[in-house]
Structure 1
Amino acid sequence: MGTPVHEKKRQIHYLKQKMTLMQEALGEMENESDLQKGDIERIEKILQDTAVKLRQFKQDWKENEER
């Protein structure tokens, strides 16, 4: 997932992978007594990375519409 993604189909696939990753991370947080600060920070990082990609994808889609 380290290379730029410009095709809409691949962008949607990327987002689905990120959501699956977040869902799995949340699923691992079932036992409240085992939760640690790093757990919530991992979720925050996934959300931040996804937000960055969403802005990039939004710009790509806008540019493609203008062509």
Structure 2
Amino acid sequence: MGNAIHDNDSQILYLKQRLNMFLEVLESVDPESTDLEDIDRMIGMMDDLELKVQQFKKPE
């Protein structure tokens, strides 16, 4: 998938990029045509983001 991110600045940059990606997806969603699968995918994106935050918080 990619190289591990160990330094704090790179971790913060990664999280900001992922959050911005999520916000772009969220802004592009049409509430009238969104189905359950789309919502599940967005929830999965948030779960992945939360997992990364927890991983980055752990002391090395």
TM-score by length of 1: 0.77
- Rg larger for: 1
Answer 1 or 2: which has greater helix percent.
1
Aligned: 1:9 with 2:9: yes
Higher relative contact order (CA 8 A, sep 6+): 2
Q: How many residues are paired up?
A: 60
Q: CA RMSD for the aligned pairs?
A: 1.5
Q: State the 4+ residue runs in structure 1 displaced beyond 6 angstroms.
A: none
Q: Which residue of 2 aligns with 1:27?
A: 27
- Deviation at residue 2 of structure 1 after TM alignment: 2.7
- Deviation at residue 3 of structure 1 after TM alignment: 2.1
Over the matched positions of the two proteins, sequence identity in percent amounts to 33
TM-score by length of 2: 0.84
Task: Give structure 2 stretches of 5+ with no counterpart.
Answer: none
Q: Which residue of 2 aligns with 1:38?
A: 37
1:23-43: CA deviation from partner (whole Å, max 9, x where unpaired): 0110111x3221111211121
